[in-house]
Amino acid sequence: MLKCEMLCCSPSQFPGGFPGSQQDPLYGYFSAVAGQDGHVSAEELQACLTQANFSGGYKPFNLETCRLMIGMLDRDMSGSMGFNEFKELWTVINAWKQHFMAMDRDRSGTVDPQEMNQALSSMGYRLSPQAMNCIIKRYSCQGKITFDDYVACCVRLRSLTGKRNVNLLVRELLLQPTLCARHAYKSVKRKSLF
Kindly report, residue by residue over 142-184, the tens digit of the pLDDT: 989 999 999 999 998 888 877 343 334 334 333 433 334 333 4
* Residue 137 Ramachandran class (φ > 0 left, ψ -120 to 50 alpha, else beta): alpha
Encode pLDDT of 19-77 as tens digits: 453 678 888 888 888 978 899 999 999 998 888 877 666 678 899 999 999 998 888 88
Angle at 66 between CA 2 and CA 85, to 5 degrees: 75
User: Is the entire prediction scored with pTM above 0.85?
Assistant: no
Q: Whole-number mean pLDDT of the chain?
A: 75
Q: What sign for the dihedral angle of Cα 89, 151, 175, 165?
A: negative
- Please state, in angstroms and rounded to a whole number, the distance separating the CA atoms of residues 122 and 97: 14
Task: Tell whether the model's pLDDT for residue 194 goes beyond 50.
Answer: no
Could you tell me if 65 and 155 are in contact, meaning their C-beta atoms sit under 8 angstroms apart?
yes
Count CA atoms within 13 Å of residue 178 on its CB side.
11
- Given this model, what pLDDT does residue 61 score? 87
- Yes or no: say if 181 and 112 are a contact pair by the CB < 8 Å rule: no
Exposure of 85 in the CB half-sphere (CA atoms within 13 A)? 25
